[in-house]
Structure 1
Amino acid sequence: MLSIRELDCEVAGRALFDSLELELASGTSLAITGPSGSGKSTLLSCVMGLVRPAGGTVHVAGTDITRLRGAALARHRSARIGMVFQFGELLPELSPLDNVALAALLAGTDRHTAYARARELLSELGVPTAASSEDLSGGERQRTAVARALVNAPALLLADEPTGALDAATREKVSDILFAMPARYRCGLLVVTHDPAVAERADRVLALADGVLVPAGRDAAAGR
């Protein structure tokens, strides 16, 4: 679902990635750790096509997004990539249902199908009916964000510190849901996190250091 080759990227004159390599298959999960400023969020932005690297390729579901521009990039991102942000980034004036359905409508799905799919996902993830997303708890908002990321059946699911704003109990519940997604939906899951407990739930754990990805956590201990 994701293949990165020889990725180079500079921000403000500082090299963040030096021929970085990464592979992620469908049905599997990968966590990336690293100190603040190491480039973890920038890497996700490169995968989404929001940051243009200086060199290398980023293939998402078989397409090199570094070669796409404008509407073609937006279409591929909408159809193939789902994103879960740290604070959910929901539209507070909309209900959970409308927040999720809107992502499908923007991707060109007809209204009936968009709302049916949104209801199905919200029900599956245990999100209650509410007039506004502001009426939800932190965990419910994150589950709504996961539903929104899944509504277009993406090949690749990205999550940037998805549990960083949650208490310990809610973090565990959201992590349970998130790491169940690859097997359930046959997507690839790439999670950026500072939390070692969250990272260790992934099939593989890598650390971003000095511009490259290296085994971390149990993978480092096992010499992988």
Structure 2
Amino acid sequence: MSIRGLTYEVPGRTLFSSLELEVVAGESVAVMGPSGSGKSTLLSCALGLVRPAGGTIAVGGADLTGLRGAALARHRAEHIGMVFQFGELLPELSPADNVALAALLAGAGRADAYARAEELLTELGVPLAESSEELSGGERQRAAVARAVINSPTLLLADEPTGALDEAAREKVADTLFAMPRRYGCGLLLVTHDPAVARRADRVLGLASGVLGPVADAQAAER
């Protein structure tokens, strides 16, 4: 992913001012910063859900800011995976259903989608339960990671993926997430308030006053 000259405004202030960011294949980048600094908005821009006032966001060989409607949805499904803070699984569906659904929406055949979903869930230690409601918090997050990578994305995004977990579950989910860039050759862009999670990344950046910059101390980046 390559972001160049990203500008985004909210009422009363400029959230991003010519922001620059590069995340290459196989690399993990953690973004930290105080609440309200724009971390989640940055992910929304990278996902194509929020359209910036200026700049380009190149993912998988296309500028997301120039795509609309079905073309944007198709490119997102093929090239971007997303892990949310609370997993956002459909509780009435099984873990396999949740994961396979992402592949089905991207055009995979049913047999292939379910075979791949079950393979990923087993690999990540998620029970093949009848309902996602039966899973623990950590298991739900690992299922969310499986859903995010089933289409072999170019870019994996994660928004506070360990924020709602206890310490043991946090470590397992972080292990899973940070293994993905090497295993699948994707870039990982993660936003977090947790310095222990951020320090696992290849690079830690701080977001403040609309600008991203490297930080030596992950703890200080939150202040």
> For this structure pair, what is the TM-score category when the shorter chain's length is used for normalisation?
over 0.9
* Secondary structure in 2 matching 1:149: helix
Q: What is the percentage of aligned positions where both structures have the same residue?
A: 75
**Residues 144-182 of structure 1: per-residue CA shift (max 9 Å, x gap):** 000000111101000000000000111011101110110
Moved over 6 A (4+): none
CA contact (8 A) 1:200 1:217 kept: no
For 2:128 and 2:61, how far apart are their aligned partners in 1?
37
Q: Distance in 2 between matches of 1:91 and 1:12?
A: 34
Structure 2 gaps, min length 5: none
Q: For 1:95-152, what per-residue CA distance to the aligned partner results, in whole angstroms no more than 9, with x for missing partners?
A: 0000000111111111011101101100110101211100000000000000000111
* Equivalent residue number for residue 111 of structure 1: 110
- TM-score w.r.t. the length of structure 2 is 0.96
Amino acid at match of 2:8: C
> Structure 1: which 5+ runs fail to align?
none
Secondary structure in 2 matching 1:100: helix
- Aligned mates of 2:128, 2:22 — CA distance in 1: 38
Question: After superposition, where does 1:80-99 map in structure 2 within 5 Å?
Answer: 80-99=79-98
Report deviation, 1:217: 3.2
Q: Specify the SS of the correspondent of 1:89.
A: coil
Measure, in 2, the Cα distance between the counterparts of 1:14 and 1:97. Answer: 43
Q: What is the Cα deviation at residue 193 of structure 1?
A: 0.2
Residues 32 and 218 in structure 2, CA contact (< 8 A), matched pair in contact too: no
What does 1:194-213 correspond to in 2, within 5 Å? 194-213=193-212
- Name the SS of the counterpart of 2:57 in structure 1: strand
1:65 counterpart residue number: 64
Asked if structure 2 preserves the Cα contact closer than 8 Å seen for 1:95 and 1:130, the reply is yes
Q: Is the 8 A contact 1:81 1:156 kept in 2?
A: yes
1:61 Cα shift?
Answer: 1.7
Q: Is the 8 A contact 2:118 2:128 kept in 1?
A: no
Q: SS in structure 2 opposite 1:217?
A: coil
Equivalent position of 1:14 in the other structure: 13
Cross-structure match for 1:166: 165
Match of residue 42 from structure 1: 41
- The size of the alignment, in residue pairs, is 220
The residue that corresponds to 2:178 in the other structure is: 179
Structure 2 CA distance for aligned equivalents of residues 14 and 148 of structure 1: 36
- The aligned counterpart of 1:133 is 132
Conservation of the 8 A alpha-carbon contact between 1:84 and 1:158 = yes
> Counterpart of 2:35 in 1: which secondary structure?
coil
Deviation, 1:14, is 2.1
